[in-house]
Chain A
Amino acid sequence: MFNNFFHRMASPKHFYRLAGILIPWLAVPCLLLTLAGLYYGLVKAPPDYQQGDSYRIMFIHVPAAWMSMFIYVVMAGAGAIGLIWRIKLAEMVAISSAPIGASFTFLALVTGSIWGKPMWGTWWVWDARLTSELILLFLYLGVIALNNAIDDKRMAARAVAILALVGVINIPIIHYSVEWWNTLHQGPTVTKFDKPSIHLSMLIPLLLMAVAFKLYYAFVVLMRARCEVLDRERNSGWVKELAEKT
């Protein structure tokens, strides 16, 4: 029965339909959590005694940075599953994750930079986290570029999976090397992102936003994977039927 379930799940047609049902069930809670997170983050949480209201950028920056790492790991995991068990769905999830991950990485970089301006007085500081995010963005762009460069969709998916796996082994190494480099060349400023303790009134919106971002990723990746299914199955009967109805 278990096997049967997976088999049906992995059939593109069932996936397409199931994803279509799931998307609103993920999107609505995501929206509600985002609104709650914004309310607690922008209205309820008191200003920081050091940074004033500027720290509120954290409620986007930190969850986005978490997501950027999380999505890369998911992408590599899905890619590995696709490579080993030849499950097309896993390949599609891996491919669909790349642009979303790149978006979150970009967001973490930009908000980090905007946050840095009032804190450090410059738009860019070679801070350990920002530098890691920058390299992560390059890794994502490499994945996307490789996917675009290969015309054959299945071949592209497998190439991307290998690249993502190589990347995921390297990410911790890059991360620690950058951190180490950062402590060696300690700049004039001390990082203000990492606080040893965080007050509950700030932790609540942070976690709300983090969960909202996770849900956001879940439904957007399903939306993208649905497009992948349509593209790959364009010659099958059910896709043609679907196309004629629209």
Chain B
Amino acid sequence: MNSDSLTRAFVILIRRDLMLAVRHRAEMANPILFFVLVTSLFPLGIGANPALLQAVAPGVIWVAALLAALLSIENVFRSDFEDGSLEQYLLSSHPLSVLVLAKITAHWLVTGLPLLLISPLLGILMGLPVDAIKILFITLLLGTPVLSLIGAVGVALTVGLRKGGMILSLLVLPLYVPVLIFASSAVDTAATGLPVTAHLSLIAALLLLALSLSPFATAAALRVSLS
């Protein structure tokens, strides 16, 4: 088993998942719709005062992104669990953590990336200045993969359970707190015109940490859940 075939397995798995996602386009749209809908409920709930909206916008958009990510991550192993291909990955000669990383990457491309692309629109709706919207985009670019990576561990732990969904939010949401804090305060700081390199480096550090640890934790959790 050489690294060449491992790369191929990685790419093939991503391509397979992307193809599956394209075939089920309607499902892809759900998290984005949820993201936009939740964010646009806030002006209706708290009033359309521009100053107020701008003040709460970073937090609101990020909390909505968190919930959308949570909603979508639930399905990362769902279909593979139901049709038994998840057990095939476990038996495969390739390291499970790499296959898991491929699954998470594909899932992020399908659900995280659209979130990212639609976010400037939400920034405009909430009256954020252009500089803050740019930073919002960068924080989502760095932050949503972290959400997917952490969420995958939770999903792997709950994949076989009947009431997995409720427990998943309890497991995962507290772990999302640092991302939420750093990201929303980065946008907040950018809106006041101050530099945000420190915030962005912290989120990048979180991303690296999650990237290096989460695949192993997810793989271990899958082995437990499917034993």
Touching in the complex, A and B, CB below 8 A?
yes
Question: Chain A interface (Cβ within 8 Å of chain B)?
Answer: 83, 135, 138-139, 141-142, 145-146, 149-150, 155, 158-159, 162-163, 165-167, 169-170, 173-174, 177-178, 180-181, 184
Q: A177-B182, A181-B181, A181-B185 are in contact. Are A162 and B217 (CB under 8 A)?
A: yes
B54 within 8 A of A: no
Q: A146-B158, A162-B224, A180-B181 are in contact. Are A138 and B163 (CB under 8 A)?
A: no
Contact with A along B211-227 (1 / 0, CB 8 A): 00100010011001101
Q: How far is the CB of B132 from chain A (nearest CB, A)?
A: 16
B121 within 8 A of A: no
C-alpha spacing A42/B175, complex, angstroms: 38
Q: Is B173's CB under 8 angstroms from A146's CB?
A: no
| B156 and chain A: residue at smallest CB distance | A162
Interface class of chain B by DSSP: helix
Q: Is A149's CB under 8 angstroms from B181's CB?
A: no
Q: Of the candidates A138, A169, A178, which one forms a contact with B170 in the assembled complex, judged by CB atoms under 8 Å apart?
A: A138
C-alpha spacing A166/B213, complex, angstroms: 9
Number of A-B contacts (CB under 8 A): 70
Q: Is B185's CB under 8 angstroms from A166's CB?
A: no
Q: List 16 A-B contacts (CB under 8 A).
A: A83-B220, A142-B174, A146-B167, A146-B171, A149-B164, A162-B153, A162-B221, A163-B157, A163-B171, A170-B174, A170-B175, A170-B178, A173-B178, A177-B178, A177-B181, A181-B185
List 7 additional A-B contacts (Cβ < 8 Å) besides A149-B161, A155-B225, A173-B209: A138-B170, A149-B163, A149-B164, A163-B153, A166-B175, A170-B178, A184-B185
Chain B residues lying within 8 Å of A170, measured Cβ to Cβ, are 174-175, 178
Most buried by B among A135, A146, A174: A146
| B221 and chain A: residue at smallest CB distance | A162
Q: Is B171's CB under 8 angstroms from A174's CB?
A: no
Chain A residues lying within 8 Å of B158, measured Cβ to Cβ, are 146, 149
Q: Is A159's CB under 8 angstroms from B178's CB?
A: no
Q: A178-B181, A184-B185 are in contact. Are A135 and B174 (CB under 8 A)?
A: yes
Q: How far is the CB of B103 from chain A (nearest CB, A)?
A: 18
B177 within 8 A of A: yes
Number of interface residues of B (CB under 8 A): 27
C-alpha spacing A162/B223, complex, angstroms: 11
Q: Is B217's CB under 8 angstroms from A165's CB?
A: yes
C-alpha spacing A173/B174, complex, angstroms: 11
C-alpha spacing A149/B158, complex, angstroms: 9
Chain B residues lying within 8 Å of A141, measured Cβ to Cβ, are 170
Chain A residues lying within 8 Å of B175, measured Cβ to Cβ, are 166-167, 170, 174
B9 within 8 A of A: no
B206 within 8 A of A: yes
Q: Is A174's CB under 8 angstroms from B157's CB?
A: no
| B173 and chain A: residue at smallest CB distance | A138
C-alpha spacing A138/B167, complex, angstroms: 11
7 closest cross-chain pairs (CB), A and B: A177-B178, A138-B174, A142-B171, A158-B224, A142-B170, A177-B181, A181-B181
C-alpha spacing A145/B170, complex, angstroms: 8
Q: How far is the CB of A137 from chain B (nearest CB, A)?
A: 9
C-alpha spacing A165/B221, complex, angstroms: 11
Chain B residues lying within 8 Å of A184, measured Cβ to Cβ, are 185
Chain A residues lying within 8 Å of B182, measured Cβ to Cβ, are 177
Q: Is B213's CB under 8 angstroms from A174's CB?
A: no
Chain A residues lying within 8 Å of B161, measured Cβ to Cβ, are 149-150
Chain B residues lying within 8 Å of A177, measured Cβ to Cβ, are 177-178, 181-182
C-alpha spacing A181/B206, complex, angstroms: 16
C-alpha spacing A142/B173, complex, angstroms: 10
| A160 and chain B: residue at smallest CB distance | B157
Q: Is B177's CB under 8 angstroms from A135's CB?
A: yes
Chain B residues lying within 8 Å of A174, measured Cβ to Cβ, are 174-175, 177-178
C-alpha spacing A196/B225, complex, angstroms: 47
Chain A residues lying within 8 Å of B173, measured Cβ to Cβ, are 138
| B226 and chain A: residue at smallest CB distance | A155
